[in-house]
Amino acid sequence: MSRAGVLLDRDGTIIVDTGYVGSVDRVELLPGAVEAIAALNAADIPVVVVTNQSGVARGLYGVHDVQRVHAHIDEVLAAAGARVDMWLFCPYHPDGTVPEYARVSADRKPAPGMALAAAQALDLNLAASWVVGDSPVDVGLARAIGARPIFIGCATTDPQVRSVPDLAAAVQLILGPESDEPSLLDESAAMRFPAARYESADLFAQDYTAEIGRAMASVDLGEVERAAKTLNAAYDRDAAVFACGNGGSASIANHLMCDHVKGVRVGTDLHTRVTSLSSNMEILSAIANDIGYEAVFEFQLQSLARPGDVLVVVSSSGRSPNIVRALEWAAAHEMHTIALTGFEGGPARTLANVSVHVDCTNYGVVEDAHQACMHLLAQYVRQSRMSSSMVAAQVF
């Protein structure tokens, strides 16, 4: 059964951040950190450390130095009856001086690579998990994977991010023994799909198919109607439509462009202007490298979009910073917005003018439902521009 876990940053969360800690002699455990990790161990909650170590790419120390630091911390923890279940670090940085490590990596926070690896290795349910750290990239990681962030440091301006003074306070919040806050254990007890291991693919397929049906049944069809009207009205006035998403959602955004540029023209007089902001790797990587990944969609809209245009965002969690920023920019510049979301919907669900929400906590199922919603909207728009006899003569 998938379980909730806690993903911890290292420097500034577990040990004192003195800048590029690459040797054992520079390791200093923060007060209360050992006891906090031991408390998570006692609650049978997996503890994973996910840390960016660009010092490797910058030539300040090597991969083996990082591993020795982690082995030393393991020894200190073990002496107190505590443990880290998995250590993960990213040695890459695009500005590095060591050629082997001087590149962009999907493991570097806030990208989700390390978290996804931990989820696969330890069977974690990331949507029920927490990310604890002292940097905005830790908050970004939490949003990228649909987890709940806890920020160590001064209170943030984001009401959805909880702030605490240290790791001990974060663990107290997670376990919630003497707090009015809902505890991690209570929330992770909710049934999710899959809720247990399947021994045969046919049974898994049977239940997976049923979960897709349940997820699609949760969609508010009134919002689907509003989304269709928004798209048709945009095409009537020759407005542009932009789509964006991350990961699997990026493929849905790209597919939307295909179906709304090429597909809708078959048998109709439509000549739409639809662009996926997720499709151009050159511009995506340039913006991400020079400005930040959270700006990759907003920056493009600043150049391409005009008032009255439409933005369609696809985000399973609805929390991705680049999605939220794109919606906020669109709202401030008189664009119409449609969001396809899942899980709890995140900020995207409330920021968008139209919210096509899938009530489901399985990423694959949410994305399948989003793909279906994308297809049905494209096919509805296409057939709405035809006569009944023409519809009957076409293949959809």
Q: Which residues are catalytic?
A: 9, 11
Give which of 211, 192, 167 is closest to 36, Cα–Cα: 167
Separation of alpha carbons 384 and 267, rounded Å: 11
Task: Record the tokens describing residue 299, joined without a space.
Answer: 């920056």
Q: What is the secondary structure of 61-85 as a DSSP string?
A: S-HHHHHHHHHHHHHHHHHTT---S
Residue 221 identity: L
User: 62: buried, middle or exposed (CB in 10 Å: 19+, 13-18, 0-12)?
Assistant: middle
| DSSP character string of 321-365 | HHHHHHHHHHHHTT-EEEEEE-TT-HHHHHHSSEEEE---S-HHH
H helices within the chain, ranges in order? Answer: 33-42, 63-79, 113-122, 136-145, 167-175, 184-188, 201-217, 221-236, 248-261, 281-290, 296-304, 321-332, 346-351, 363-384, 388-393
Q: Order across the sheet with 310-315: list the strands.
A: 273-276, 240-245, 310-315, 336-341, 354-357
CA distance 214 to 210: 6
Question: To which residue do tokens 């577990």 refer?
Answer: 14
Closest Cα partner for 357 from 177, 175, 194, 222?
A: 222
Tokens of 201: 């693919």
